[in-house]
A = this chain, B = another copy of it.
Amino acid sequence: MINSMNKKVTINDIASMANVAKSTVSRYLNGGSVSEHTRLKIDRIVEKYNYTPNTFAQSLKQQTNHTVGVIVPRLDSIAQSDMLRGLDELNKEDTFLIINTYQDSNRVLAAIEKLHSQNVGGIILLTANLTDEIRQALTSSPLPIVIQGQDEPNFHRVIMNDIEAGLIVGQYIKTLSPQRVLLLNVDSNIDYAVGHDRFLGIKESLTHIPHQEIITDFKLHLTKKDSYKAMSKQQFDLVVGATDRIVVGAMQSAFALKQHPKFIGFGQSFFSETVSPNLTSFEFDFFETGKALYRLFVKVRDHKPKTVQRQVINGQLIIRESTKKSNH
């Protein structure tokens, strides 16, 4: 192991040390027919120098490679890092080239181009939002591509069942019999799955219950400001946020105003178990989602299915203290 790192040993070196042709070594390496005798000879040398093939030469020759570009909107999120962990979990021989776009769709476009110029063997795109430019770039790519996050009809994808999530939360809301509900949503142009799908069932459950919907932002301090404004005008006994992060912002506003509504969030995050009270939240298993993504990617890459693949991940409602009778 140590030696191998100092001066890259090539297939030629191995060949000459073993007194065989390099093609023999190549066959040895790739499971071709080699006699027992030479096999043992080469074994020793390869072992001794801990030979590893030059991946550049391999990729160049084979016109394909096992590097997969993964475009991710952010890294400091349990959802994203769990998905990456899921990818790692199933992966044996691929290398992931992770590009963080910092939630900027221009960077997504740049990332797609960069990955192409790097000759990756495929792309996995985690995203909340696809622009037409991005769709265009993806469509014109010859690479196997799988996306996650939005239900885009023309792309192989893994999506979260946000519609069902909203329905389940809606049902649960009814059992709480709230008097006045505050909905903290996000712009559906920024994230359709969240802003639209996720809230369909919730709104339906509120047809006969007084409620107010506010469009806020994923950023904590904006959520804090927006919710504070709403909650100081009138008091709510239930707050439903599009994400856990948003709910945490609302919690702080509520505490500042000495209000104690119930809270429901979405997502699997640090927050649900670090805030007091612990947060009732609809959670998806992003680790499994990552595994599903990888499986789908491999399928697309290796079998080139003719029909567009679509896989849906379900989640579950985890009830914690924040919707218990008294939480102050």
Contacts and interface: CB of A to CB of B under 8 A. Distances in A.
A8 B116 CA distance: 9
Interface centre among A60, A76, A140, A270 (most CB of B within 10 A): A76
A95 B270 CA distance: 30
A99 to B, nearest CB: 9
Interface string A20-49: 000000000000000000000000000000
A139 to B, nearest CB: 9
A59 B55 CA distance: 10
A301 interface: no
Interface stretch (A147-155, A156-164, A187-195, A273-281): A273-281
Interface centre among A77, A98, A251 (most CB of B within 10 A): A98
Nearest to A88: B100
- Count the copies: 2
Contact of A78 (B2, B5, B76): B76
A232 interface: no
A213 to B, nearest CB: 24
Contacts of A95: 97, 114, 118
Interface centre among A65, A80, A84, A118 (most CB of B within 10 A): A118
A141 interface: yes
A56 B60 contact: yes
Interface in A46-68: 52-57, 59-60, 65
Given A95-B97, A97-B95, A142-B5, A248 B274 contact: yes
B98 A85 contact: no
Interface centre among A57, A65, A95, A117 (most CB of B within 10 A): A117
A75 B84 contact: yes
Contact of A271 (B52, B84, B143, B274): B274
A251 B3 CA distance: 50
A38 to B, nearest CB: 24
A206 to B, nearest CB: 27
A274 B220 contact: yes
Contacts of A77: 76
Given A275-B275, A276-B252, A2 B81 contact: no
A96 B114 CA distance: 12
A140 B5 contact: yes
Contacts of A117: 52-53, 55
10 contacts: A1-B113, A1-B137, A3-B140, A55-B118, A56-B56, A60-B60, A84-B100, A85-B102, A95-B97, A274-B274
For the complex of A and B, list the 3 residue pairs with the smallest distance between their C-beta atoms, beginning with the closest.
Answer: A76-B81, A52-B117, A75-B81
